[in-house]
């Protein structure tokens, strides 16, 4: 995705003020962020104090992580792995996400006009099989596997698509049929070391929408997710930006009577894609959420005072604020990849700026630069080597802003490696209490019916009153204190050992909870 491979050249793009520019702002010399004890959720989760006989509301917080396939950032870890080894790696990631306390994974399934699932529209990705167009041997469907294993653990699985990249600089094998660059070479441009589908070519936009529609028809994804690559980041040569080579498509637009200047035309092209994505998701999987993760700095005329740096509005032609205003998405995940207190890109100022722009009250789940956490406490802190405490402080700050109801880590690699004990600190700190993703009521889903409960020895059997929910919200009262857990729908038997009361609600795919049912386990 981002993370500019992932950060090369960003100092120049930001005019000396971006991710890699200058030294980091001062990190506060203070104790690690305070985290809630289990059963006392932060304000952002919406939990309240429990009464003796009634548990509090279910804690709510989106806790996600990106799983990047491009350049083997996260999965698969390297080329040439057998399907069995790839499945083992996938299971390790999903299980770590569950035990850590995450509730969603965002899996990159289309890194560059290719596919990590069987597709008639695009070739198999070389990042999966080692050669573009080569099918897995023996055959298997990675996306179906990831969805099943995530859902089995009560996790959401969002499918992440790069909308226009046609070939990444890390690619090593030739393009293979039916890659779009071979079928429609006139709609693809070489720009720097990569190939890009031209957003000004109607065929390119139609193809991207067709690919996403195909996944929505065939897979039970919880969300569709696109990253920050619309028009590409500028390529620098000799100290100056090289223009994106879309002269032919713009000339054709102007010859047909188009009146927009080139920059406004480019923004209109990206707006049309986002509108098309919104319509496609709503038409084919109405309860799936559409998420977009743009660069973290907004358009210059709507930034908070004190924020400076790269303008995606002027360089990527992404009018993110308009999409937010129009409600063309369900969640926005701006990449806030700077530390608290950083001059020009202070995390807190950026967060408050995006909150202020959320006029339609869509979900705001910022991206956190977890991959910048240093390898261990022995490594000196620096611009790209943060202490784990920085991430804990950012999460603590987010929880003081109820309008930002979650966050997403880039990426799982840092959590799998437990850099500077970040995974351990999260698991036993901010994530010690489980949380449900926030509900998305504007999709119009009805809350599920309450479940039926029955004692079965020292366990409680939970049955759905109707179709199986996406997950169960389970409260247990132990020694007078309520403890919360999230269970997968297959977990029909809930352990009640040590509890005297158990309460369960069914939770829909959009996060709506049923009425609770309660059962007394012991006097």
CA distances from 465 to 95, 154, 338 (A): 29, 19, 47
The answer to the question of residue 55 being in a domain is no
How confident is the model at residue 247, as a pLDDT? 98
User: Last residue of some domain: 398, 414, 438?
Assistant: 438
The answer to the question of residue 381 being in a domain is yes
Is the domain of 409 the same as that of 516? no
More confident of the two residues 32 and 495: 495
The answer to the question of residue 39 being in a domain is no
Q: DSSP E strands: which ranges in 288-392?
A: 289-292, 331-332, 335-336, 363-364, 367-368
How confident is the model at residue 27, as a pLDDT? 25
More confident of the two residues 27 and 282: 282
Q: Is the pLDDT of residue 10 over 80?
A: no
Report the distance separating Cα 4 and Cα 56, nearest Å: 43
Is the domain of 77 the same as that of 151? yes
504 three-class SS: strand
Residue 345 CA, chain-centre distance (Å), reads 21
Is the domain of 431 the same as that of 483? no
User: Looking at 48-52, 72-76, 143-147, which range is the least confident one?
Assistant: 48-52
The answer to the question of residue 54 being in a domain is no
Average pLDDT on 342-366 reads 97
How confident is the model at residue 412, as a pLDDT? 98
Reference 13, options 242, 329, 318; nearest CA is 242
The residue with tokens 């959420």 is: 289
Share of the chain above pLDDT 90, in %: 86
Q: Which residues of 474-505 are buried (b: 16+ CB within 10 A; e: fewer)?
A: bbbbeeeebbbebbbbebbebebeebebbbbb
Q: Is the pLDDT of residue 42 over 90?
A: no
On the 0-12 / 13-18 / 19+ scale of CB atoms within 10 A, 523 is exposed
Q: Band of the pLDDT at 330, cuts 50, 70, 90?
A: very high
Report the distance separating Cα 301 and Cα 173, nearest Å: 43
250 three-class SS: helix
Question: Residue 165 belongs to a domain with what CATH number?
Answer: 3.20.20.80
Report the distance separating Cα 121 and Cα 117, nearest Å: 11
When divided into structural domains, the chain yields a total of 2
Mean pLDDT of the chain: 91
Report the distance separating Cα 263 and Cα 276, nearest Å: 20
Q: Is the pLDDT of residue 167 over 90?
A: yes
pLDDT tens for each residue of 277-313: 999 999 999 999 999 999 999 999 999 999 999 999 9
Q: Band of the pLDDT at 489, cuts 50, 70, 90?
A: very high
The answer to the question of residue 1 being in a domain is no
Residues 449, 466 contacting (CB under 8 angstroms): yes
Average pLDDT on 47-74 reads 88
Average pLDDT on 501-523 reads 94
Q: Is the pLDDT of residue 83 over 60?
A: yes
The answer to the question of residue 505 being in a domain is yes
Q: Band of the pLDDT at 522, cuts 50, 70, 90?
A: confident
Report the distance separating Cα 439 and Cα 436, nearest Å: 8
pTM: 0.91
Domain range holding 480? 452-520
Backbone angles phi, psi at 320, to 5 degrees: -60, -40
Report the distance separating Cα 343 and Cα 316, nearest Å: 23
Residue 178 CA, chain-centre distance (Å), reads 28
The residue with tokens 């290719």 is: 114
């Amino acid at each position: 995705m981002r993370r500019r491979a992932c950060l090369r050249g960003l100092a120049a793009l930001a005019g000396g003020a971006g991710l890699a520019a200058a030294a980091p702002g001062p990190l506060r010399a203070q104790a690690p962020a305070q985290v809630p004890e289990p059963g006392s959720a932060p304000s952002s989760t919406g939990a309240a104090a429990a009464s003796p006989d009634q548990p509090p509301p279910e804690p709510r917080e989106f806790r996600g992580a990106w799983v990047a396939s491009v350049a083997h950032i996260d999965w698969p870890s390297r080329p040439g792995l057998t399907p069995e080894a790839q499945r083992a790696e996938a299971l390790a990631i999903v299980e770590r996400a569950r035990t850590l306390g995450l509730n969603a994974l965002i899996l990159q399934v289309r890194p560059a006009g290719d596919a990590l699932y069987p597709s008639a529209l695009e070739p198999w990705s070389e990042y999966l099989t080692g050669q573009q167009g080569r099918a897995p041997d023996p055959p298997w469907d990675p996306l179906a596997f990831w969805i099943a294993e995530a859902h089995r653990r009560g996790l959401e699985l969002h499918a992440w698509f790069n909308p226009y990249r046609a070939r990444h600089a890390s690619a090593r094998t030739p393009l293979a049929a039916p890659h779009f660059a071979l079928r429609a070479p006139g709609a693809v441009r070489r720009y720097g070391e990569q190939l890009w589908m031209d957003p000004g070519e109607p065929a390119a936009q139609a193809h991207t929408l067709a690919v996403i529609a195909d996944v929505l028809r065939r897979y039970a994804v919880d969300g569709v997710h696109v990253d920050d690559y619309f028009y590409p980041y500028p390529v620098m040569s000799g100290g100056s930006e090289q223009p994106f080579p879309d002269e032919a498509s713009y000339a054709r637009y102007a010859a047909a009577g188009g009146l927009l200047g080139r920059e406004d035309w480019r923004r209109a092209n990206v707006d049309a894609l986002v509108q098309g994505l919104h319509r496609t998701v709503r038409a084919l999987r109405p309860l799936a959420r559409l998420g977009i993760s743009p660069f973290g700095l907004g358009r210059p005329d709507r930034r908070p005072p004190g924020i400076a740096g790269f303008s995606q509005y002027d360089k990527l032609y992404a009018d993110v604020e308009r999409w937010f205003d129009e409600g063309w998405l369900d969640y926005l995940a701006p990449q806030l990849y700077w530390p608290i207190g950083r001059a020009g890109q202070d995390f807190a100022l950026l967060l408050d700026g995006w909150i202020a722009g959320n006029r339609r009250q869509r979900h705001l789940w910022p991206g956190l630069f977890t991959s910048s956490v240093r390898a261990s406490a022995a490594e000196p802190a620096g611009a790209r080597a943060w202490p784990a405490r920085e991430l804990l402080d950012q999460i603590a700050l987010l929880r003081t802003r109820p309008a930002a109801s979650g966050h997403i880590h880039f990426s799982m690699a840092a959590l799998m490696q437990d850099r500077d004990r970040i995974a351990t600190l999260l698991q036993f700190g901010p994530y010690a209490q489980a949380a449900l993703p926030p509900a998305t009521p504007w999709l119009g889903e009805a809350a599920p019916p309450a479940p039926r409960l029955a004692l079965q020895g020292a366990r409680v059997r939970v049955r759905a009153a109707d179709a199986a929910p996406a997950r169960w919200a389970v409260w247990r009262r132990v020694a007078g204190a309520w403890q919360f857990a999230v269970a997968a729908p297959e977990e029909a038997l809930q352990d009640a050992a040590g509890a005297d009361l158990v309460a369960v609600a069914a939770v829909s795919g959009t996060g709506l909870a049923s009425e609770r049912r309660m059962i007394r386990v012991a006097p």
